[in-house]
Structure 1
Amino acid sequence: MAQGQGFGFGLGKMKELATAIQKAQQVQEGAKKLQEDLEKMEIEGVAGGGAVKVIMSGTQEPRRVEISADILSEGAEVLSDLVTAAMKDAYVKSTTTMREQMEELTGGLTVPGLS
């Protein structure tokens, strides 16, 4: 190794690394806040034209199920299918919301040498 060259990190690279570390710390702080926000969110999945609703948090924690009295006469199998469809709808909406917010939070994060 030539004298004065260190490990291949010039001053510019060190500044990039410091900036990336700072951004990573901001992302970590933002992730904590995002987790809290997602836990408080209520995301609704629906089926049967709104006859069945499943509400879950942004972290996919089930909160409640609402079933219209009108749909009860359709029988257990139909009701089961509608609850399942509403659960899937809520899950997709919840995971999409989480992914979009994480992408927004981490946007622009690059680590020198890894991009």
Structure 2
Amino acid sequence: MSQGQGFGFGLGKMKELKEAFQKAQQVQEGAKRLQEELEQMRIEGESSGGLVKVVLSGNQEPIDVTISADALKESPELVADLVLAAMQDAYSKSTATMREQMEELTGGLNLPGMGM
């Protein structure tokens, strides 16, 4: 090791490292809050104008399914398709919500290696 180089970290690098750790801590704290918020969210998906409704938490956990009496008059295969379509709608909305929340959480932080 050359004299005066230490471990290769100058004061500027130490400052950058400290800032990176602070940003990471901010994201970690924000992620914890986001997780709590997502648990409380209720995201509804539906199919065929509301014949079937599915509710997921923001964490995509199933909460509720409502099948209208009109839907129950249909064949079991059609009801299954309606339930699946409502689940896909809720899932799509849920993933979009999660993506938006994560972008808000990490946006502007310029974390190394995050590509944002």
Counterpart in 2 of 1:19?
19
By how many angstroms is 1:7 displaced?
2.1
**1:76 aligns to what?**
76
- Normalised to the residue count of structure 1, the TM-score between the two structures is 0.90
Shifted more, 28-37 versus 6-15: the winner is 6-15
The number of residue pairs the alignment matches comes to 113
Equivalent residue, structure 2, for 1:53? 53
Identical positions, percent: 69
CA distance, structure 2, for counterparts of residue 11 and residue 100 of structure 1: 36
**Over 4 Å off, 4+ runs:** none
Query: Which consecutive unaligned segments of at least 5 residues does structure 1 have?
Result: none
1:69-104: CA deviation from partner (whole Å, max 9, x where unpaired): 122111211111000011011111112211221122
Give 1:64's aligned residue. Answer: 64
Q: Counterparts of 1:1-115 in structure 2 under 5 Å?
A: 1-107=1-107, 108-111=109-112, 114=113
Residue by residue, what CA displacement relative to the aligned partner does 1:1-28 show, whole Å, maximum 9, x if unpaired?
3211122211111111101101111111
* Residue deviations 1:29-67 (CA, integer Å, cap 9, x gap): 111110000000000111111111100001010000111
Return the alpha-carbon distance in structure 1 between the equivalents of residues 82 and 8 of structure 2.
61
Q: CA RMSD in A?
A: 1.4
Q: C-alpha separation between the residues in 2 aligned to 1:47 and 1:72?
A: 14
Q: Quote the Cα distance in structure 1 between the aligned partners of 2:106 and 2:87.
A: 28
Whether contact under 8 Å (1:20, 1:109) holds in the other structure is no
In 2, are the aligned partners of 1:24 and 1:109 still within 8 Å (CA)? Answer: no
Amino acid at match of 2:87: M
SS state at 1:89 partner: helix
